[in-house]
Structure 1
């Protein structure tokens, strides 16, 4: 019997600093998120970050928390419910960090007799800290608890025509309501070393401005390439004029070089250079979350206006849009009906 496990990032159980600390501890101790040797990672996370960041993050979460709970969890549950109504196989939901856990999600499917699982990481682009860590944990859980389960993994869909169509529609629907000078595609950042570590050729990724446009097998696992490709494809789909849209990266942490240009500095610079009206979309995320609702819709808005900008429009993620539900459901049914 076949079934599906949708997997998103996760969220603290509440805005209480204790819950935020627990969540951040699990998240940041993942060796694919902070890829330092265990001892150094432990010193950094448990000795420094978890003693300073939870209260700050708790305040940020409290700004975007809904009555029903975490926006990311609520939106993911809505997506699950809608897809479940459209498809012919059981659909379970899990978070890589926090609850509902991936173990519980797999157990839910296994209890229904499922032995073939379509694993759906809800990330359009591949990254060590997203898709890869989900696959690794799923395999660990199978080996330990579910040896009879076989996995099929949905590959990154950053360039899938169906996804590009849904994302493009979500953008144009907002742009048609406003006047804007520039559309910024803001993706979650990663350390530059993650790009090099994911380079299966061990030589292609130089982050030099040209390697992402030069064909290579490395692009299969190159987050940077896949982000720029998403931007390019949407730009073509919407027939956006050159110079009216661009790509940046948000949410950097620590002092190591992360992917550039940085979103906060890009927004600041645009305002200072006289761009008065911008719209920002966040295509690294399927569901709105802290990084979109607080970091972009609030913080970036404030930075832009403090530096002379006048109108800032945040474009929501695709969340549980009907066209996204239909698309995801069709992908699932095509897999379910295959041999």
Structure 2
């Protein structure tokens, strides 16, 4: 049985034009694990409201960050794929959960090369219903319908792998070297609080107060996005030698009026600036590739907020992107799977 690997990232519109952005947003927001309300309500919200108002504004945001080569997320993901491929002896394909670079096409590319054992690698360090889970579910559906001869091995969240923490820490340390800053913000993509409850395999043990995130050995941590974000911050801060009070965890990119994970990144930036913080650094560990949420929402909008309230220096730390050491982390994960005598399929 020939082994292959499918790296999977979020996705991107084909262009920053409103029609392409609208198509992309429609697929993304109609996912029942992104907006987890009944179909009729999701359809009314997405097709009746959001897709009639948001595409033009989103297209303008994409135009600000679009590269000559294309979407930053796609370009950086392709560069990462090439580096991982250079480090392993197994075919490595790339797919996106949303958009034209579909998971079905990625699986087909590997099958066409004779692969019958495929490891899927969602490029999300932390598990979330709207990221890793929606990928895993779609892969299962596609294999059942189109690739019954293929055995899939899923990759769990890797936020706690020591080599990942080492690389993330190194990427931050390089940017902070010689930099005078007062506070470092760890900003993660937000999710509705109800997503955390729905992912709680202990049926209500999560108190949503932040305290249970730090209890050791709790079984719900395997699927608790908030816990995994908090622990990522703790592990990196410890390795960087950061003092309490000089760093914090926040959540960005909320949508709608339901409660999302707090504290919110934009409001924290504003509050700290008003409180007299003049020099802030910010890192976005939920993203491995720079994209709209990091290049526009943080690096542009976040900096603007900080300056408006009196902040001076706003340092944005790049995502891991196509760093050689991050590509090696993924290559190591692949080798661990490929060389295990009995590869466990899920």
Q: Same fold (TM over 0.5)?
A: yes
> Offset at 1:214?
2.1
Match of 1:309 in 2: 311
Alignment of structure 1 residues 62-73 onto 2, 5 Å: 62-73=63-74
Contact 1:23 1:98 in 2 (8 A): yes
Match of 1:331 in 2: 333
Alignment of structure 1 residues 41-52 onto 2, 5 Å: 41-52=42-53
Mark the runs of 5 or more structure 1 residues left unpaired by the alignment. none
State the SS of the aligned residue for 1:225: helix
> Offset at 1:338?
2.0
Contact 1:168 1:238 in 2 (8 A): yes
| CA deviations over 1:179-209 (Å, ceiling 9, x no partner) | 1000000000000000000000012112113
CA distance in 2, matches of 1:112, 1:70: 27
CA distance in 2, matches of 1:99, 1:131: 19
Match of 1:32 in 2: 33
Contact 1:88 1:333 in 2 (8 A): no
| CA deviations over 1:11-63 (Å, ceiling 9, x no partner) | 00000100000000000000000000000000000000000000000000000
User: Which of the residues 238, 242, 247 maps onto 2:240?
Assistant: 238
Normalised by the length of structure 2, the TM-score is 0.97
Match of 2:164 in 1: 163
CA distance in 2, matches of 1:219, 1:250: 21
> Offset at 1:178?
1.5
Alignment of structure 1 residues 117-266 onto 2, 5 Å: 117-215=118-216, 216-266=218-268
> Offset at 1:333?
1.7
> Offset at 1:328?
1.1
Contact 1:80 1:93 in 2 (8 A): yes
CA distance in 2, matches of 1:177, 1:305: 22
Match of 2:112 in 1: 111
Moved more, 329-338 or 69-78: 329-338
Match of 1:59 in 2: 60
Question: Stretches of 4+ moved more than 4 A in 1?
Answer: none
> Offset at 1:244?
0.5
CA distance in 2, matches of 1:295, 1:83: 29
CA distance in 2, matches of 1:120, 1:202: 28
Contact 1:168 1:237 in 2 (8 A): yes
CA distance in 2, matches of 1:202, 1:154: 24
Normalised by the length of structure 1, the TM-score is 0.99
Contact 1:191 1:259 in 2 (8 A): yes
> Offset at 1:153?
1.1
